[in-house]
Amino acid sequence: MSTSLKELYLSYKKWVGDNPLMASDFEMSAKWISYIFAGRIQNSSVITELVYSMSNLLVLFNDCIINESRRTLPLTSGSTLKTWLTVLEYAEVFLEITAKSVWGEKGRWILIGLVQAFKCIGRLILLFTHKEHIVQMPPIPPLKRRLLSKQDSQDSPATIGFSLKSGRIIRCVNSASPTHLRSWKPPAFTTTLPDGSIPDRPLDQNLLLAETLYIVKPVLHLCSMLRFGPKAWRPYILSLFMDVASLHMFRRAKKQNGPSTLSPRQKMELSRREVALLLYILRSPFYEKYSQKRINRMLEGFSNNLPLVGYILRPLAQYIPHWQETYFYMWSS
């Protein structure tokens, strides 16, 4: 039995490595199943989040298989920690909803505190010990598989040589050029990452402070929330202030030192954080005080006046309160 399971696993690994785009279609189908479950069966929230979390974890698992089969990059410092943080990122909403249904509100908040503490410590370790400049969300982003497929059709370093575990580069005999044209130097391996981007640039002290501020923000906000209440203004203002202060420090450094201060991937992560500021419209207490009625009126107006749009916006209007009450939907980072 164990032999057949191992053979099945090896066959699956080979299939994913050879067909990354087909694997993406399979993963997308799993995500759509979670939307089909939503609101149609009892305890749909738990089942929906379970299916959605499993689909994201499947993407992560398949990406690891594709990385291994392509030998795109060796494991970097902190890879194991980044994997665990990514798994937690994908499963945290499911864990929160499950904890609430099993242990009630007290158990839910205990789990939230443990998860946020682990994420904060893990990101600080990545930042200061493993020199992970600007920790992404999630720490291991999904691979750009279409880009990998395009690269497969072109010559890559793997076709002219390979690297041993010791780091020594061995040139393939078949790819060697004529004797009079050889440089007798090891093949130059590209320093680009699997997604085609260049490595991140190190941060100076001010930018380290800005990133540290962003990392510790969820824990400080959670402590303030437990002290003053989940719908109080003080936790809300504290979190907003820390977000804006961190982004301002990054923006000021970019203005002083030029665009080359940050890599394209770092700039993309900062852009994601700027867009995430829009979540403050849905966060308590601003949502209950100002935006709830306006958002509902807007969605209702679009649903009634635009053909077919209601099939999308009416379920969205029903689920906004659920998302708004789920901590990790609103305050994960």
Q: Could you tell me if residue 168 is inside a domain? A: no
Q: Could you tell me if residue 156 is inside a domain? A: no
Q: Could you tell me if residue 140 is inside a domain? A: yes
Q: Is the dihedral of CA 20, 35, 94, 112 positive or negative?
A: positive
E-only strand ranges, the chain: 161-163, 169-171
Tell me the C-alpha distance between 65 and 239, whole Å: 38
Q: Taking a C-beta distance cutoff of 8 angstroms, is the pair 303, 309 a contact?
A: yes
Buried b (16+ CB within 10 A) or exposed e, 139-155: bbeebebeebeebeeee
CB atoms within 10 A of CB 132: 20
Q: Is the dihedral of CA 113, 49, 213, 123 positive or negative?
A: positive
Q: What is the length of the chain?
A: 333
Residue 103 has pLDDT above 60, yes or no: yes
Q: Could you tell me if residue 27 is inside a domain? A: yes
Query: Strand, helix or coil at 326?
Result: coil
For residue 192, the one-letter residue type is T
Annotate 16-51 with DSSP letters as a single string.
HHH-HHHHHHHHHHHHHHHHHHTTTSTTHHHHHHHH
Q: Could you tell me if residue 12 is inside a domain? A: yes
Q: Which residues contact 171 (CB under 8 A, 6 or more apart)?
A: 160, 161, 186, 187
Query: Strand, helix or coil at 98?
Result: helix
Query: Strand, helix or coil at 161?
Result: strand
Q: Could you tell me if residue 175 is inside a domain? A: no
- Give the domain range for residue 13: 1-149
User: Residue 258: left if φ>0, alpha if ψ -120 to 50, beta else—which one?
Assistant: left
What percentage of the chain exceeds 90 in pLDDT?
42
Taking only Cα atoms into account, the Rg of the chain, rounded to an integer number of angstroms, comes to: 23
Average pLDDT over residues 251-276: 87
Quote the distance between the C-alpha of residue 127 and its chain's center: 16
- For residue range 9-28, list pLDDT tens digits in order: 888 888 888 888 888 887 88
Tell me the C-alpha distance between 104 and 252, whole Å: 44
- For residue range 42-89, list pLDDT tens digits in order: 556 788 888 889 989 999 998 888 888 776 555 666 889 999 999 999
Tell me the C-alpha distance between 49 and 52, whole Å: 5
- For residue range 205-249, list pLDDT tens digits in order: 889 999 999 999 999 999 999 999 999 999 999 999 999 999 999
- For residue range 274-315, list pLDDT tens digits in order: 999 999 999 999 999 999 999 999 999 998 888 888 888 888
Q: Could you tell me if residue 123 is inside a domain? A: yes
Q: Could you tell me if residue 207 is inside a domain? A: no
The label of the residue with tokens 């395009």 reads: 150
- The mean-pLDDT minimum among 34-38, 149-153, 184-188 falls in 184-188
Q: How many distinct structural domains can be found in the chain?
A: 1
Tell me the C-alpha distance between 297 and 292, whole Å: 9
pLDDT, the chain, mean: 82
Give the pLDDT confidence score for residue 193 in this predicted structure: 53
Give the pLDDT confidence score for residue 271 in this predicted structure: 94
What are the tokens at 27?
């993963």
